[in-house]
Structure 1
């Protein structure tokens, strides 16, 4: 298995582990937060972890979320959203294969900021089949490009009970991430090296999710969500500024 320190320093591994741990805890409490919090910061401190290894870790935490609250999952609308994710994931994977690093970084930051705007939206949107399909398309593009694909789907479930929100987002993330990984693999942008790098971070991810178990019943998801959005917004803006000033 590839050694994480072969592509990053020990200091980077420690910093990355802390980011993954905190992101997993936030995800476990609010249903979103892992990618939103960790991905834009990792794009700066350890860009080799985005999107491949982060997508692999997103799959792991999605499975943990569904196992914990599987009885609360909403399966009715997720099928349409997953159907929409397929074509958008293929388009995003193709873009990763042809766009230069600078342009990809700019697009990455813009997508993260768009996700924050979606997360702040308080519109009551009726999750009909066409709407869920459209949300799945947007999620597929965002998730494949940046590993952050939950905001459009979270928008559909923002009025649902907390357990339903967390479980349904986890269920979508499992199959949606598999679709994105398949699209990236077909484009030659995902391989066993991504799995190997992600495997080095499963331990801090699992610890962070375990810490979230008691917190999920005590901490307000709304407060967590706002903290996640503030931190990810700052990181995305910093990444965007770096592309023009560095």
Structure 2
């Protein structure tokens, strides 16, 4: 399989995002999606979601002993209407509006990640987070921050495993909604296949840095990269709107 320079850069971005999420429970979509969008908008949301499903599957298999499926079920059920709304939004908006929505959604996700307000992990909070995760995840492929916000009080292993379980079931829901709305095609599948080496490289890299990198130490870099790239996407949409 031959790679162009932008495609190799995409693999590198995916590798870094996968390694971050495998270690701290969040980071793949937040870091990879806006950077990949700047390379080619076709990467978002379909290909990013397809690779994200592979990551969720690998993490659930690894963390299966720490999982409590019953607790995360409200979020999984709420993702369905959220994903439908996200897919409908994706079809309804023109390209410049999608860039604006995507950029400001990721910036909102960055601000949510900075929020230190304590939210208890209850059925109600998980339901609300699941809905917004479905909406944002389907429209922009960045659905992790709303659910991660609810898991701030949990330890790293619990949060990492249960967020992975949520994404394992929730991501295919978003993918099916995109297929139903005609927003996922063969080209998206090809881009996903080319990003697969980044999935396996990132998962392997995470084993080397796990324990050396924590959510606290990774957070400033993660949010800085995500915020800067999201701002560039928003500016790109603003230029399109004005031009």
TM-score of the aligned structures, taking structure 2 as reference length: 0.94
2-structure distance, mates of 1:65, 1:132: 20
TM-score, scaled relative to structure 1: 0.93
| Alpha-carbon distance between aligned partners in 2 of 1:231 and 1:74, rounded to the nearest angstrom | 32
Paired positions, count = 240
Q: Show structure 1 runs of 4+ deviating over 4 A.
A: none
Does the aligned pair in 1 maintain the 2:119–2:153 contact within 8 Å? no
Any idea what SS the aligned residue of 1:125 has? coil
What residue number does 2:161 align with?
167
Partner residue in 2 for 1:108 = 102
Cα deviation for residue 195 of structure 1 reads 2.3
- Does the 8 A contact of 1:30 with 1:225 survive in 2? no
Structure 2 portions without partners, runs of 5+: none
Query: Which residue number corresponds to residue 171 of structure 2?
Result: 177
What value does the CA root-mean-square deviation take over the aligned residues? 1.5
Shift of 1:96: 1.0
Write the deviation string for residues 115-152 of structure 1: whole angstroms up to 9, x where unpaired. 11111111221222222111111101110011110111
What 5-or-longer segments of structure 1 have no aligned partner? Answer: none
1:89 to 83, 88, 104: 83
SS of residue matched to 1:202: helix
Q: CA deviation at 1:226?
A: 2.2
> In structure 2, what is the equivalent of residue 118 of structure 1?
112
Partner of 1:53: 47
Larger mean CA deviation between 127-136 and 172-181 belongs to 127-136
Question: 1:218-229, aligned counterparts within 5 Å?
Answer: 218-229=212-223
- Structure 1 4/117 Cα, relative in aligned 2: closer, same or farther at 3 Å? farther
Q: Aligned partners of 1:85 and 1:70: how far apart in 2?
A: 21
